[in-house]
Amino acid sequence: YFNRSYLLFGCAYQQSEGRELTKEEKQRLRKEKKQQKKNKEKKDDNASQESEKEKKSVSSSSSAPQPPTQPATQKAPSAVPAPAPAVVPASETPAPVEKPAKSKAELKAERRARQEAERASKQGKKGETGQQAATGKPKAPPSELQPVVKRLPEHIQVDNPDVLKKLAKKLERQQIPLRLDYGYKVSLFSHLHQYSRKAPLTQQLSIPSSVIHPAIVRLGLQYSQGIVAGSNARSVALLHAFKQVIRDYTTPPNEELSRDLVNKLKPYISFLNQCRPLSASMGNAIKYIKKEISNIPSQCKEEEAKGKLLNCIECYINEKIILAAKAIAKYAIEKISDGDVILVYGCSSLVNHILCEAFEKNRKFRVIVVDSRPRLEGREALRRLVQRGISCTYVLISAVSYILPEVSKVFLGAHALLANGYVMSRVGTSQIALVAKAFNVPVLVCCETYKFCERVQTDSFVSNELDDPDDLIVTRKGKTQLEDWQQVPLLGLLNLVYDVTPPDFVDLVITDLGMIPCTSVPVVLRVKNVDL
């Protein structure tokens, strides 16, 4: 069994050399190491030493993708015994075939080299090319393909009690209250959180909160109550709050600004995540800020550093959101002709901006606003458009197939664009795209590039957000049918927030880089990453 398993492992590895190591493979490796220790009694000390270092190296490599403020001490011992384990298995295991032993050594050397590469890149990208040469991998060097060991985000693992325990411990450490789930969750979505709007996280905080900056507390409350909604609005609000945090920040003595400020931001981000799960655009903004902070050279004075950071944030908002909106509007206006009947769904700030711009440029068109329960965001869009003087029609989403024969184009906004070309947007968008496709009406999605996301997803179940189920309750003709839904044991209410639209329903995506098809999203992501 032992020999065969090695063979299998070795062969599997040989076939898929370019693949990053999964957790299962590492565990298997560890198990086999343990078995090796048991079977070969000679060199007991050596074997135990080696398996210990193995475990440490495995654990440290799995923690490599975490933020750069890993204490340097953890990495040192793993770097030291690098040559030793490579030699030991070759001598300890004469029985197994030559091929698997070499692949294991190769594995470890690679892992070591990858850790070095990542640490070096996080400290300012010096000597990256040196590390690349040390890997000895025949395929493309790791920095280009970035084989990062991905950690699943916590908010889609609610059904895993270990993950929940870890989260609770982390929040306790950061002194942030844990938000509890509410109500009966539909079984298909038991892996997601479901919170109630009536129990905001701030009720569990002490006032004044010593751990969390008041601007962040306010922001968290605005998110959880739905006062600030829409991905652009949330990102801009987040960046403004962070600017306030940076202004009020002072470096404690014996600490570096680049490391300490990032540590300060972590509990804030956990808090905001508890109030409402972060959107893809917010995630990208946070990544950018953290990168900028850690790139501050250590000899920079505090005032200068803060000024630089504030400037960076301003630039980000200006470039990625405001100027991008102008560029997208310029491209989109080319697509609107006189006499058009345009259908929009919900309230997308970008689409509203485009329509207002087009109206300023004297294009003659009319708009049909489609709305859906329970958020009824279309009313806001209706208000904005009617104020400008655009002639509008208003329908609910169930009437979409009634109104579509009149429509010439559909403009949709997006919450994020996924790397496999799927469009993640407000729930109902995929439905509109489906019906539009059935009636042969072109569907155009407008999205800024900072919302592009490296995740992939094929359905709306695996990663989504569940809103307060009580929102579905409504009174019609004096009767509220679902008032006591909690008492009825078999009744569940589902209030989804997002859904994914397959790329074959979307005809064109208008971004600030130009008009691209849905499938070109990973190309744009790659171009962006190389630039960074």
474 binds other proteins (CB under 8 A): yes
Query: Which CB atom, from 488 or from 527, has the smaller least distance to other proteins?
Result: 488
Contact at 8 Å (CB) between 230 and 349? yes
Question: For residues 409 and 426, which CB has a smaller minimum distance to other proteins in the complex?
Answer: 426
Question: Counting Cβ atoms within 10 Å, is residue 71 exposed (0-12), middle (13-18) or buried (19+)?
Answer: exposed
Q: In 363-456, at which residue ranges do the beta strands (DSSP E only) sit? A: 365-371, 392-396, 409-413, 416-417, 423-426, 443-446
Tokens found for residue 207: 């006032």
Query: Which of 84, 152, 178, 491 is in the footprint of other proteins by CB under 8 A?
Result: 491
Q: In this structure, are residues 79 and 61 in contact, taking their beta carbons and an 8 Å threshold?
A: no
Residue choice 233, 472, 508, 515 for contact with other proteins (CB under 8 A): 472
Using the minimum distance from each CB to other proteins, give the nearer residue, 231 or 511: 231
CA angle 395, 401, 406 (to 5 degrees): 80
Residue 35, SS3 per DSSP: helix
Buried b (16+ CB within 10 A) or exposed e, 255-285: eebbbbbbebbebbbbbbbbbbbbbbbbbbb
Say how far apart CA 368 and CA 387 lie, in whole Å: 15
| In the complex, least distance from residue 399 CB atom to other proteins, rounded to whole angstroms | 5
Among 64, 305, 382, 443, binds other proteins (CB under 8 A): 382
CB 341 within 8 A of CB 404: no
Give the span between the Cα atoms of 186 and 492, in whole angstroms: 6
Q: Which is nearer to other proteins, 168 or 491 (CB)?
A: 491
Q: Does 402 bind other proteins (CB under 8 A)?
A: yes
Q: Min. distance of Cβ 156 from other proteins in angstroms? A: 16
Of 244 and 460, nearer to other proteins (C-beta) is 460
Given 134, 178, 399, 523, the residue binding other proteins (CB under 8 A): 399
Does 496 engage in binding with other proteins (CB under 8 A)?
yes
482 binds other proteins (CB under 8 A): yes
CB of 382 vs other proteins, minimal distance in Å:
6
Name the residue nearer to other proteins (CB basis): 265 or 518: 518
Nearest to 515 by CA among 332, 345, 361: 332
How long a stretch of residues is the chain? 532
Which residue, 93 or 495, is less far from other proteins as judged by CB?
495
Closest of 532, 380, 373 to residue 467, by C-alpha: 373
In contact, 335 and 310? CB cutoff 8 Å: no
> By CB under 8 A, what part of segment 141-200 binds other proteins?
186-188
Could you say whether residue 493 binds other proteins (CB under 8 A)? yes
Q: Using CB under 8 A as the criterion, what x/- string covers residues 346-375 for binding other proteins?
A: -------------------------xxxx-
Among 40, 102, 264, 379, interactor with other proteins by CB under 8 A = 379
Judged by beta carbon, residue 342 or residue 435, the one nearer other proteins is 435
**Per CB under 8 A, does 79 bind other proteins?**
no
- The DSSP output letter for 501 is E
Among 492, 508, 515, 525, binds other proteins (CB under 8 A): 492
With a CB cutoff of 8 Å and minimum separation 6, the contacts of 243 are 310, 313, 314
Please tell me whether residue 456 binds other proteins under the rule CB under 8 A: no
Minimum distance from CB of 524 to other proteins (Å)?
26
Other CB atoms within 10 Å distance of the CB of residue 227: 12
Q: Is 401 in the site for other proteins (CB under 8 A)?
A: yes
Residue 117: exposure state from Cβ atoms within 10 A (0-12, 13-18, ≥19): buried
| Minimum CB distance to other proteins smaller for 2 or for 394 | 394
Residue 48, C-beta contacts closer than 8 angstroms, at least 6 positions apart: 37
Residues lying near other proteins in the complex (CB under 8 A) are found at: 186-188, 371-374, 376, 379, 382-383, 386, 391-403, 426-428, 430-431, 434-435, 438, 459-461, 472, 474, 476, 481-482, 485, 488-496, 499-500
